[in-house]
């Protein structure tokens, strides 16, 4: 099961990079996120898998697809790449990076002290219950800070996506009847 989900995840991620059309890239990205959610279920993090599907594969990807459709980018090839060696160097650097990370990670991993939430304990308490209890007790301040972050991001996105810049003079009354 791990291997199947890993193949889905890696294959879909590769297709995201390889596809020429951004819409197909976005659809393959959804597939990759679903594969990742399956991995989370295997790791006994059910609430995380649900969040992954809802927020990533749902909300974020809908936003992506919406913008892709909104921009309606023509399939227009750039006349020539301005940086000729970009692709070659990019591939080489990626392979070097992967080699370094893999060598670091593939060896014997010495784990630190183990926490209290063994799989058995987690199974009887319930993953979502433990997650919620921790989030609203130990990590309450971070949770509230996150809400401020989301608010700022929301306001920022709306300000950036406005048609008229913020300090611009207000339009004449005839034009302002049209909803912005």
Partner 1 sequence: MSFTVPLSWYLVLSAIVFSIGVAGVLLRRNALVIFMCIEIMLSGVNLSFIAFSRFLHSMSGQIFFFFVMTVAAAEVAVGLAIILTIFRSRESVDVDEVNLLRG
Binding to partner 1 in span 16-35, by CB under 8 A? 16-17, 22, 25-26, 29, 32-33
Q: Phi then psi for 75, rounded to 5 degrees?
A: -80, 75
Instruction: Name which position in 8, 31, 50, 130 contacts partner 1 (CB under 8 A).
Output: 130
To the nearest whole angstrom, how small is the minimum distance from the Cβ of residue 124 to partner 1? 14
User: Judged by CB under 8 A, does residue 110 bind partner 1?
Assistant: no
User: Judged by CB under 8 A, does residue 123 bind partner 1?
Assistant: no
Alpha carbons within 13 A on the beta-carbon side of 47: 11
Instruction: Name which position in 84, 85, 118, 167 contacts partner 1 (CB under 8 A).
Output: 118
34 to each of 59, 63, 143, 144, how far by Cα in Å?
A: 13, 17, 26, 28
To the nearest whole angstrom, how small is the minimum distance from the Cβ of residue 101 to partner 1? 4
Instruction: Name which position in 8, 31, 50, 68 contacts partner 1 (CB under 8 A).
Output: 68
Residue 95 or 176: the one with the smaller Cβ distance to partner 1 is 95
Alpha carbons within 13 A on the beta-carbon side of 32: 15
Pairwise CA distance, residues 17 & 154, whole Å: 28
């Amino acid at each position: 099961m791990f291997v199947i989900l890993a193949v889905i995840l890696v294959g879909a991620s590769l297709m995201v990079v390889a596809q020429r059309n951004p819409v197909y890239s976005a659809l393959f990205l959804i597939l990759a996120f679903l594969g990742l959610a399956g991995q989370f279920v295997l790791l006994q993090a059910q609430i995380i898998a649900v969040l992954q599907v809802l927020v990533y594969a749902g909300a974020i990807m809908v936003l992506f697809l919406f913008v892709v459709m909104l921009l309606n980018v023509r399939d227009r090839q750039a006349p020539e790449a301005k940086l000729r060696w970009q692709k070659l160097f990019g591939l080489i650097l990626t392979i070097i990076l992967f080699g370094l990370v893999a060598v670091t990670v593939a060896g014997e991993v010495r784990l630190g002290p183990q926490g209290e939430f063994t799989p058995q304990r987690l199974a009887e308490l319930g993953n979502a219950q433990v997650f919620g209890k921790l989030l609203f007790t130990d990590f309450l301040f971070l949770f509230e800070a996150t809400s401020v972050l989301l608010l700022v991001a929301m306001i920022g996105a709306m300000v950036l996506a406005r048609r008229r810049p913020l300090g611009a003079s207000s339009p004449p009354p005839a034009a302002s009847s049209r909803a912005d």
